[in-house]
Amino acid sequence: MANDERLSAALARTSETEDVEFKSYFDPSALRDWLEIIKDIAAFANSGGGHILIGLSDDGSPSGADVSALLAIDPADIGNRIYKYTGQHFSGVELLECEKAGVEVCAIRVSGVRIPIVFTKVGEFELSDAKKKTAFALGTVYFRHGAKSEPGTSDDLRNFLEREIEFTRKSWLNGIAKVVEAPTGPPFCGLATRRRTYGSFGITSDATDFRHWSASLLCLTTRQNTPLPSEGSGTRSKRKTSR
């Protein structure tokens, strides 16, 4: 039985949010249910991740639906279904057995992606009157808008890019922070900076150009056994970078 802070917080909610969705039931044999869940997974992944809780009503109370069939599904099968409609291999899906008020619930945990999931095939299902309904169209990119999964806007794409830039920046800073003491060698390695514009969304950044960070890390971590020609001897220095 899964139990962690994020999941506990999701189960405690009484209404849906950007990162939590309730579904009263899921029928693994119904194409309609599969297409809707694939759309929601894509929207959650593009929005940074979250939880889809199967077996809860709109107010967060247990619906009493049997979720055992869903829990028995291999997550790889979900990945294959997503690939069928997107052409992307996405493995950021976990099926977690949990409970609320003593009733079994299935939590689908979705991880965020670094490249947006785009639908490359139309998702259609047939209604009871033989008419067809489209769950998602060709070329659409879904995001979470409050409690709904909807086609993305330019603002969604801008937010996605800004989130990715921030993620990359923190990753590099964390890497540099691990260098506590530089070995014998040059006392300073400069980091080139420049203002950059990302795509057509007008996002600018004065952050350090990431292509120059690797050279700086090399300066910090490569041992220099001989002094530079312009210096009498190597200088030992300490370089710390806050997170």
Q: Which residue has 């849906």 as its token pair? A: 16
Other Cβ atoms closer than 10 A to 146? 8
pLDDT digits (tens, 9 = 90+) for 137-178: 999 999 999 999 999 999 999 999 998 898 888 888 877 776
What whole-number distance in Å separates Cα of residue 191 and Cα of residue 56?
Answer: 51
Tokens standing for residue 111:
């991880």
Nearest to 27 by CA among 35, 39, 18: 35
pTM tops 0.75, yes or no: no
Domains and their CATH numbers in the chain? 5-152 (3.30.950.30), 158-221 (no CATH)
pLDDT digits (tens, 9 = 90+) for 189-216: 444 444 444 444 444 444 444 444 444 4
Q: Which residues of the chain have pLDDT under 70?
A: 1-3, 178-243
Other Cβ atoms closer than 10 A to 61? 14
